[in-house]
Every structure is written in C-alpha cells, then in structure tokens.
Structure 1
Amino acid sequence: MILKFLKYISVIAVLPFICGCTDNVDDPNSGDNAGILTITLRNSNASRSTESDNSEVLIKNAVIALYPDAYGEDQPAVALQTFDAIDKSGSATVQMKLTDDMVQTLFGGASGARCKLYAVANIDNLADVAANASISSLKSISVGSSFDIIKVQPSFAMSGLGGVTYTLSGGNGTASGSVDLIRTAAKISLNVKLPESVVDADGAEWVPAISSTGGMRAFLVNGVKRTDLVPSDGYTPQDDDYFIMSLADADAVRGLSSIGVGEYSYRMDVPLYTYPNHWTETPEEKHRTSMTLVVPWQKRGEQRWNTFYYQVPVTDLVEIVSNHSYSVNLNVGMLGSLSPETPEELDDLSYQIVDWNSAPIDVNITDTRYLVVSPKEISVNNEENMIVPFYTSHPVEISNVELQYSRFNYYSDGNGTVVDFTVTNEMIIKSNENSGSDKKLCTYSVEKDALGNNILKVMHPLTVWEPYNSSGGEISLTGQTVAPSNLGIDYYKPSDPAENAFSPYKIIVTIRHIDKKEFTQTITITQYPSIYIEPKNNPGGSYNTGYSSRNVGSFWNPRYEYTPTTSPYGFVYVNPTYNTAPTSGSSGGFGYWDNSSDLGDVLGLAGNNSNPNMYVINVSILGDNENKYVIGDPRSLNINNNLTGTGSINTSEDLNNTWSVDADALYENSAKRKLRYYYPTIENESDNYAYMIAPKIRVASSYGKTYTINRTNCRRRAASYQEQGCPAGRWRLPTLGEFMFITQLSAEGKIPALFNLSTSNSSSYYMTAQGAYKVENKNGKAVVTKQTSNSNTLIRAVYDEWYWEQQSAYQLQRNASGGYDFTWGDVPRDATRSAMLINSYKSKMTK
C-alpha cells in the first residue's frame, strides 16, 4: 500500500514560519490504511523579542488543506484538518492523517507529482470551516481583530499557498514541500524626534511636559478591524469595519517613551495594527488611515501644561497592504492644535515601508524609504508588452529576471509527464545576443511613465523559443529519454518558421534599491498566450467494481464471505449500474459499480495508451493557420436524451430515455433519476458547425479509452461519461474542428497523442459529431479522412470547461471515502449565459 511509505512526511511552512521546534500538538492514530503528514510551522523572526512579546509569532490554531495540483481555487479539498489550542510561540508541529485514497488522489503514485498545500493560521470559529473547503472559500473567511481596544493582540490571521512534492526512490515514497504564510494585517510604528523646546508665534518658549503628564501618546484613525483573510483586488471595507481609537482608552492608545539613544529616540511601546485599506486624495475622502499624536507642552515658568494634537500620515501612498510594516519618523518642531478634531499636520517626516519580516527598519534614517508593489502576482492575456506600476522612494535597479515555461511531451514514453524549464538571467542575456532577429527573448527596464509614475516594463514575444547548446546545436524538447538538466541548454532562439506559444510563461523579476539593496521586491507575471494548454492530471483512484466470495464454512454447511473487488479507474464511469453484493453474516452488503459494456466499458490505464492527464485547451484568438475554425458554443439548443438517428438529433427535442441508468443528480435531485437535460454536439456538417471550437475544452484522459462501438453508443458514452470531479451529462462528442485541432497539436509534438495517429490500423478511426474520421500523421500534419461507415469507431469525449468551470451551484463533491460517485450533472442550458461567456472569451485576449 502506498501509505506504508508515507508514515513520516515533513512539510516545512515558512515566512513567518522557519525555525525549529518539534512539540507535537496533535498525534492522530495511524492504522494500516493511513499515513501521517507532519507539518512544521516556524517563524523566521522569533528571535525578535518585541514581536514575540506582542504575539506576532504566536500560532494559536491552524487549518491545513491539500489539493491536487491541477485543481483550481474553487475546487474542494481532498484532505483538510483543523488544529485547535496549539498556542505555540515561534514554532509548532502538527500531524495530519492521510488515507491511501487521499494519497492516490493527490499524487497518483507518480514520482515528482505535486499537490497544493494551503495553510491558514489563527482564525476564529474553526468548527465553521467546511471539511472540503476550497482555496477561494478559505481566502474569503472573515477575520476580525480588536485593534481598536487592545494593544497586544492574541494572534494574527495568516495564510499561504505552497506545494508538496511526492518522490519515489527504491520503492519508497516520501513527500516534502513548503508554504509561505503572510499576515492579513499591517503593522504601524512611530518614532519621534522631540526638541528640548519650541517657540510659539508670540515668542513664548514651551518645553515638553513628559514626566508630569504620563508622556506622549498616539492612536489610530480610520484603522480597519474586519476584512477577508485574503482581500480581493479592489476590496473596500464597510463603514462599520473602520475604527477610531478613543484617547480615553488606556488599553488601546500607545505610549511613546525615550530609549535614550538615536535621533528619533521616542518609540511606541507596542505597534499599531490595521487590516488593508485604500483611499483617494480628495477632500471628501473620509477613510484615510492616519495617526494622531498627543504631546503635552508646558510654557516655561508656568505650572500649567496644555495638550497639543498632531495628524501623522501613515504613508505618502494611498493604500496600506497586508504583511507590510509602516514606520514613520517624525520631527515635532512646533506646537500642534489644541483640538483633537482638527490636529495639526506636520511635514517634517519620513517613511519606511518593508515586508513585515523581510528587512530591518532603521529608525534613525532621515529620509523616506519604501519599495512597494501590490499586487506582486499579475496575470496578462495575450500581451507581449507588460507594464507594472510600483512605488519607490529611491532609485531602483533590476537585480534578476527569470522565465519559466512547461513542455507536455518531453519524454518519449508518451505518458504525459509535465516538465518545467527555467530560463536564467544569464540565458536571457545570451539569447538576446544570439537571437539572430529583431526579436529578443526578454527585455526589461524601470522607467517613468508620462505622469512621472514608476513603472517596470517587460517585453516577451509570445512565440516558441527553441533551446541551443553552447556549440550552437539545436536541442529538441520532445521524445527525450534524458533528464532536462542533462540537455546543456545555453541560450534560446525563436523557432523558424515562427510558431505561436502554447504554454503560459512565468516572468519573475526582482527589483531593489540601488543604495540599500536589502529593500527588494519580486514580481511574478504569468503571461497567457492566445492558445495554450493546461495538463490536468487524473491522480487515479479506485472504486468497487464487483466482489469475490469464498467458503469459510464447510462443504456440508457452506458459509460465504464476500469482499469487494476494486479497480484503479481514476473515478471514470460510463453509465454504470449500481449493485449491492450479497450479505452473509457480517460480510457483504457493500455497493459496487458495473460500467456499461454496450457503451465500451472502462478499461483503465493499460498498454501503451496510459497517459493519466486530461488536457484543457484554451483558444481565444485563432492564427492565420487556423482560419477555417470558428470559436463558439458547439452544443445543440435542443435537449436530446435518446441520441439515436442521424438527421434530427439537433433539430427537435427527444426526451425519451430508457438507456441511461438511475443515479444521483446535482439538479432536481429529490430522487435518483436518468439523464434529463442533455444538449449534444451539433452534427450539422456545414463549415460553420463542423469547424466550430469551444473556447476552453477538457479532453478526457487515457482512463477513458474504450472498445470500438457504433455512432449511437458513442453519443451515449459521451453523455454518460464521468471523470474525477467532472460529472456525467456534461461531456460530449468533439466537433470535427476540435478533433482536427487536438490531433494537430499531437502531430506537432506539443502534447502526447490523445488520438492514435497511426496509418495502418483501426485504432485510428474516431467518432466526431460530424461522423467517423480516420486520422494520420503525415510529416507533422494531422490529416483526417471521413469514413463511409459509422460503426466500430473509438471515442474520446470532451468537456465544456468554459461553461462549467464557473458553475458553483451544482458542483460534484467528494464522498465520505474521498472519492467520487457516479452522478448526473446535467442542468437546463442557460443560452444567455452561454452567449455572454463566449463573448467574454473572445474579448479578453483581444489586444
């Protein structure tokens, strides 16, 4: 069993968490069917006594959730566990119990497979976290703190996304990974330079009345005390989420006292805290975050003293972002206002803004210093020239640039292993020098825009770049048997002839202050081409497909014991009948699924056709070579559940349905039912329909391979096909255009062969909506030929990802054992929504 090798898996969570204590706060029992994932949470700055004293490194509780690497943020967790009453400062270790099925679903048993790890710390109401919560639902957890009434907070909400990598070596499996956790809140501190005396407009001298009055105090105005765990772009707090501290509340207002050294010697006893905020520089703005400083002054020679008020901006920017530390150095060189409602604003001040944990704050620096990029992770669609704004107090330089991309058909085995490549800064420079054309692999600079704002400019052409070794030899990235690290890649040149990029690129740029290099920021730009491929690994998974029996009694008095037979089908089903095994004593009575042999059955991964990946193909702009294709919705406007005949399948409704099984359904689910709302692919053979391509489709994996069947059964197989979290009733036959488009990607070596491109056997015949076609690979070009017979063909179904991926109301959820049961996912079609989504896909990548 896989988990025999997974008893001790260590995942180290860093950002705040990177030091080394091993106090076990949860020790779940493990059995033969469980492994223990050990997760260590540690804080890199635990040695700072002020942070430790102020609970900035306290780990009160945690939520750990694991997801297959192919899952989006809206898909449910495979494993999730909450840990309460941890209460460790700086470091804690928790243990998470994983079943065999969980490990199989997360990693599929493949060495090098990854899963996502999302961690949340220090939230209220752990019991309200759903057992299979998605990443997006965790991010939207409402967090609140008593920033307005308590100095030292009990803890700080934090979260982060990381990864776990599974490795097989000598038959043993291990897993390791990391996650960077960041706080939702921001920290604010004030350092004051106070003169020995000031002179007012009348010439009278005033001295600070610190010792006799309780000293200077400061409080926050328009702080934010409630927000989402990870506020989305443009998130604006509600009016009730803001707070203004009361000067009378001694438990909240910060005192400032002198440490006796340094120019700005008066420091806050405890920093102020707030959640993110943004505002405008307009007179009507009422939610700008600032501080009010209270200083008692006494006229020399008099016993009486007065309280004066100063308004202190937190930053000269227009926002406060999560997990940043804002430090203000203020010179109080004059008397303030006598009214707290209209405090005097001073301009003799400087700012420093840094990541909470990344850089020290020099409170004696006399100038403003900050380098802020928000957000740091940016996605662009079909854009080669990218501009990223940033804020900086000092001149910056680009210290490093890297490119990352993937290839999906690198190894010769055709099993779909995804290989990631990194193009280093040195490679980029060499590639720009050796490109042999006007095109450069990547150019970058920091500049000012027309309004004088700081911008990072990056240019990367969305074409295929071929690797070369140091001797100038071109290196192939398909059909290899050696590890990518052994290829000796030295630089890149554009492909000749030019080819459009088919993999997203990540461009990672680090900028820093020229004169103080520890002030750095790293920006990650994900660049999506107009046509790109996303492999979605089917991590496997078994379910009951029958039973076996044995006589545990005697010949004269037989007594049978029944045990389930499981099949590693990756939760692929085809119109399966649900049966119950016989019962004898305490054994039997369990359920099992019998997939339809009439519709080609389920065969699992076997033989040469063993690629576990589904492929999501995104198409928004078609190039000159694809001018025959049309982007649209290939599904019929009419329901047809019967799926027989040829001429009328799309032109009229056919609600008759005796062939499909009764099963649970996501829609109209009061009782088990048959397929009810199926919209098959339009079978019209005119070019407008035959060459129509949906903007984003998922192609079934090799788990879905089949025997040869006739046209009616091909339709019914697609209609009743289910794979992983994509339920039945939503898959369909590909159009001829989709079939040609996919097979051409394989012929060019961009993806493994999903359809057999052989030239001499019947396995090259496939069913499309427009009928059966033979496909051949002729010198890198997929050539299709229509067949006269629609019998004895294969089928690989497609799923309209563009339509269903945002369907949150009717999502297939995992069952109690961590797998998926066969479920009808058909719902009445929303033609308005369909048209809106098609238009949005067409427009979002238009330059």
Structure 2
Amino acid sequence: MKRRILYPIYMLALLLVLGSCQDEDWKGEQATDGDCLTLSVSTMAASRAEVVGEDRFNENTITRADVYFFSSDAEQNESRTCLYAHLSVPVSNNTLQVQLDKDIITDGNSYYIYVVANYDLLNGTSAANKTLADLKETVLTTNWKDGYSGNTGPEPSLVMDGATTVTISPEGTSGHVDLKRAMAKVMLFPTAEDKITVGEGDEQVTYRPALDRMRVTMVYGVNKTNLAGTYQVQANSDYITRMLRDYQQIDGENGYEQTAPFYSYPNPEETTDRKDTYLILCVPWYVDGEATEQAVNYYYRVPITGDDSPALMERNKYYEVHTRIGVLGSLNPHDAVTVSSNFIIHDWFKMRIDAAMNNYRYLVLDEYTSVMNNVDELSMPYISSSPISTEEGYNPTPEGYYTEITEVSLWNYRQTNARHQYYAEEAKNNYTDEDGNRMEYVGQIPNDYTIRVEGDNLVFGHPLTDDDYVAITITVTVYNEQGVEADKWTITQYPAMYIEGEYNRTGSSNRFVYGVNGGGRDGRSVTNDRGTSLGNVYDPEASGATNSNLNQYTIYISSFDIDDEYAIGDPRSEIIDNLDYLGNQEDVNGRNLTYYYPSVQESISDINTNGSVVAPAFKIASSWGVVDGNGITFDAAKQRCASYQENGYPAGRWRVPTEGEIEYIISLSNADKIPDLFNGDYFASTGRYYDNGYQSSNRPGFYSDNGSHSVRCVYDVWYWGDEKIENPNRFTWGDEPRQ
C-alpha cells in the first residue's frame, strides 16, 4: 500500500494576452493590425525558489515553444485536425510572439490552443493533418545527463505542455495556459550516524562517514514517454541503467544535497517485464583516527517509494526521499544493503494568474493532500495575498472565518462491528463517508490537534502515542484575512503500527480451502489428495463458532520498541516447498500449486535468542477461515493455509503465522485495539500451538504436542500488496517465484 506525503513543486503558467501587433518584423512596440497573438510567460516558481530550488536546475526555462490551434471542441474530441501552427516560437523577456494567419484564425471564433515547450514533436515535419491525439501520442526521447564523462550538471530545459480555449477578438482578450512538466524529479537527502562501532573488546572498530564523498545512482530511469500518458515502456530499450550524481554541502556542516536532480519519465506498473526505479547510495566510511582518504565505499539500496510500493515516476511529481544510514552497507554495489526511507511526493504547483486581474486575491497551499508517516508535525508552504487568518491571533476574515481544523476521523476496530468515527465542532445529520458508511460523532476535536502559522508555512501538529493504532484523517480549512478560502487541506497521519480492517460479508462465495467454498451451518469437509482432512469450511455466523468476526484485519508495523522480543522480517522460507498431497487441485486457469514458500519453522532457541520474526505488513484471515471443533494436525494446518483463499487474496500466498505474529495480534486484543481473534488453541509455524485457556485449564502460552488444533492463516501484504484478483469467487492459485 502506498504511503505518500504530498507536497507541490511549482507549475509554469503562460499568460495569454490576445491583442494587436504588427507583422513579422514586430520589434516590441504595440501594433494595430490584429495579426499577432502575444503570449506572456510567467513562472510562479521563481518567487518560491528557496522552497523548491527550481531555477538553478533550469526547471522553469523555456527555450522554444510550439503553438497549435484546433477547433474549440478539441479538448473533448482529440481527433480534431490542427488548423494552424506557429513552431519554434522564441522566448524573449518572458513573451512569445505568435503570428496569426487571419484567413484561418478569425476574429470572433474560439480556438483550443495546445502549447508544447522545449521539444519538437514534429521533428521537422508539417503540422498539416496532425490531430491533437497525434501530437500527444508522439513518442519523445530525452537522453538524461548520466553524470559520467563530463555529462553532468542540470538539464538545459524540461519538456512541458498545456492548453486553453480562447476567443479571438480585435479589441484584445486575456487568458492563461498552464504548462506542466512531463517527467518526475527525484532527490535523495541522506544523513548518517556520526560514528558506527562494530565488534567487541579488542576487536572493536569505530567507523566515521566521509559525507563529502557520497554519491548516488538512479537505477532504471525511463527516457521515453508521450504527452498523452499512454506510452508503454519497452523494458529492453527505454530504461537508463545508471545515472550518477555527486553531493554538495548545504545548510552548514551536516546538510548535503545532490548537485543536480534525477529525472525520469513515467514507469507504469503494467509494463511488461517492468524494472522498478530505485537508488543506490554510496557512503565512504573510514576507521576513526585514520585519514579520510582511506575510507572504503559501502553501498545501500534506497527504495524511492518505500518497500511495498513501486516507484511509478508519475508525471508532475517530485519524489523527495530521506534516509538515515546507521550500519555499514555492502562492499558490492550489486548486492547493496536495502535501507528504509521516508519519502514525500510533491505535486507540481498550479497557480492560475489572470492577466486581466488588477487586484490579486489568492491563497494557494503547496498541496492539499498530505500523508504523515510516524511523525508529529507537518509544515505546509503557502502563497497568499494577505496574512493567514488564525484563531490564535484572532484576525478573522470579514465574514468572521479563520483557519482551523474542522474534522478528525478514524476507524474504531475495538468491536466486531467496526465504526467510522469523527470529531468536529458539532454533529452532522445523516453523515456518511465516501464509501457510504455511517459516520459516528464522538465529540469536540481534542486539544492535542493544533494548527499554527510559522513564517510562510502552516504547521499541523498531533503527537502520536501508544494509544494511536489506526490512520487518522484530519481536515483543515484555510482562510486569509481577505476572506479567500483555499481548497480543503486533508492530512492522513499513520502511527508506527496501525491497523486497517475490511468487512467480508460474502465470504461464503469468496473463501476457499483447496478449491472448496460455501459450507453453511453444517460445513463442507475438505481433504487433500490423500484424503486427509484439512478441516471444514463453515458459515461462522450460522455454525455457532466461538469466533464469528467477519473482518479481515491488516497490521502494518514499521518499528518495535527496543524491549519488544520481535524481529521485523520475511517469515517465509527461501526454498520452494509445495507440501505433500496438494498437487491435484487445478484453479480456474488450469494451474496447480508451483511456487509455495511456507513460513520458516523457527527453532525455539532462535526465538529465545533473536525474537520471533514478524512480517512488516500482514493480513489475518477472518472467521470465514474457521476450522471445525475437532481441529486438524500441524501438517494439515500448513496445507490448509497454503490452499486458503479469501476475499480476492488468492491461494498459494497464505501461510501459518509465526509465534511472534500470534503474540503480537494477541497483544493488540489485550490492549483493546481489535477483538479477540485467538479464542482457543491455534497452531504457530514452529509446530507449537497457542492456548489462551478459553476451552482448557492451561495458562495462556505456547505448548507442544502432536494433537489437533485450529489455525488462523495470514497473508503477506508487505510482499504481495493489497491488490485483489479479478474474480474473487473463483479459486485461483496466486503463487509466483520469489523476486
């Protein structure tokens, strides 16, 4: 699941001023024959260069512009043919002079104008008979500076396009067109521990980083696209294997920044044989007391959008990536150590400036949808024609409004019937969320949710505590003193550990065990190829099961407290084991189980020494997975999970949970964060079973025997993602080779 913090970069604005000018010999004076179109170019990012640093990277530079005229309905019908074009229009003093053929472009008529900056889509050919779709679908190629052999520094310019509809008038007309960049921008901001100590006693060695010699490489950037957003990346030809950037010092002693950004065209997820875009950071470390020249390079793989999300390199996005290095990496860049990263995805800024405006009144935030990953504060830059109106200073708008948090909403999973709750000034009538769920009013917004102004930034604050266990959505309404209201600012704040729930009402049709679904009150028996029971399938509400919770809970964990006896990692075996007696059942596609990786059977001594492994994100089967009261053997439990499918999450991916995962789920239930899920005796991947004493005299804990018990399967969301198969009501093997 993608977790993204959204901020904007700035979008360019072309201000269209339609007026009179003379013929092609125009030298800047006002003309009178109406045969020219004057386009004034304005870059709103220039005034905020200190925020995004665009000008120094030529991100606002326009070296040429091609202007195409179409009939006014071309935006809805891109098959319209180009009526007129003025190509390679030079830019002078932020102004484009577009010569018009008044036999074609006539006064009183409206035209759709499409502008492409810094790229010749026609490659020297004519615009005649070209449709708008033809232009947008033209494949463009940019050989990004790779950072090697003198091919360094910023790009000279970036490809942009935009459009507007205008009506030609001899008296003069004003309008605008926004230019949007066609690529993504990536910057990595690394920091490192002041020192790292390895070994013990006489073998202890302390290393220090040589930060001024860091370098970063982008792997698999994309150099082709089209402006329609439909280009299919060709895996064998469109990827740039390596692009290198050095670092330079900023902000005093400890801040370092790339000498130039990386750029990449989109890398869509549906690409055949797709290669994900990622970063390799090189940090030299030297032995404390020795010369920095003796530092040795260590390599780290840094995911651009986290471990669980592909880096799509979406158009108009700036991927700001942060990582902190606290361990020695790999000496081999091809085997770089993967480190965690925090990332912010900035939207491109878009400001509409009307040339006819004399008295500007505006209020624009850098973004309107933000994500906070386990942090307590978020600063949001803004541009405003007057100071922000706040309750603290009580400088309200003329109507009495001021900037405030208007709603805080979150899910409550403490009960089987999950509730979507909200805090606000007052309750709302018949209030539902976007999925139609009824919203339950809780009360006034707590005081620990705050909003304040610091310089040119709005700062939201909410300190996370151990009681926060779900994503929190905050809505902020922003006004300036002139009464201008910005779009709603929506923030989603995620704790280090959080839970999401999904109610599976139709499990009777979408839950399978080895191809068998349904079940009803009396259940249907399931056996493996040898005839050994894998338990039954039931309707948990009709069968009188001790646990009839139809929610599937997903647990996301980014860190544990230092005292917790768990280790975040991959609990699966590295070796394919399709288990015995599961070879005959074909799925809807005629496949059999082929690439199954069961949970590693941890030893008790390893658990006691290193802690039990817990996956960073895993989904728990709902009560549709209930086993009959007699239980099943451990081998049958493994086979049941291997062949389990529920709610669109296919078979071949589920597994028996580790002891650590069972303990952690139970700790959440004990903390009243989710209902009890392990009432009874349940197998763990060690072969031991957990007994909470619900149906026995045992004290809660893990026990060993060769008897029969229940199992509650788990699904590795961190690896497989949260996408469902197309038809959840057909049994499907979803196993694949490990990547």
TM range (shorter): 0.3 to 0.5
Per chain length, whose mean CA-contact separation is higher, i.e. which structure has more relative contact order (CA < 8 Å, sep 6+)?
Answer: 2
TM-score (norm 2): 0.42
TM-score (norm 1): 0.37
Larger radius of gyration: 1
